[in-house]
Amino acid sequence: MKSLKAKLLIIGTMGTLFLGACSNSNQATNSESSTAQSQASTLSNNQRSVPTASPAAAKKTEHQHGESHGGTIVETGAYHLEFVPLNETNGTHLDFYLQKGNNHEAIPNAKVTALVQLPDGTQKTIPLTYEASGKHYKGMLAEKATGQYQVRVTSDISGQKVDGRFTFNK
């Protein structure tokens, strides 16, 4: 009886593996692409998200889009946005690079705000201030809860609104 159950289990497992292999032979290589597609689908139609989590992806993005800082990149119209959350002992340091044009020139005079949805669903508004030495905007999120954080960064550039949506896990 145990032998029959073991054989059925092995045959069932092999059949499942065979069907999985036949249905999508590129599943492993497409996992990064699927992640990028799911992130991009949460953005508005005129935005494109390019995640740069792995060193290989960062290098590829750096070549295509200028200097990368290891965050998630969104191209929207003439603007290049990059969001980099950095975990620290007192919370999460938020770096945001707001750039324009093909040469990704920093925009120092925008009003930038991050609206962060915490894992429990509550929202926090974090004003981001420009740091000239790093050519980026920065802020601090004091919350330390574990889970997924959804972030909408709104930039007001001389009356023109530029938004980017990002997520990160803590």
- Determine how many CB atoms are found less than 10 A away from the CB of residue 141: 21
- Check if the beta carbon of residue 128 is closer than 8 Å to that of residue 96: yes
**pLDDT band, residue 2 (cuts 50/70/90):** low
**pLDDT band, residue 70 (cuts 50/70/90):** confident
Rounded mean pLDDT of the chain? Answer: 75
SS3 state at 119: coil
State the pairing for strand pair 160-169/47-50. Answer: unpaired
CATH of 47-169, one of 3.30.420.10, 3.40.920.10, 3.40.50.970, 2.60.40.2480: 2.60.40.2480
pLDDT, tens digit, 9 for 90 and up, residues 39-48 = 333 333 344 4
**pLDDT band, residue 67 (cuts 50/70/90):** low
Rounded Cα gap, residues 150 and 164, in angstroms: 11
- The DSSP symbol for 145 reads -
- Determine how many CB atoms are found less than 10 A away from the CB of residue 37: 11
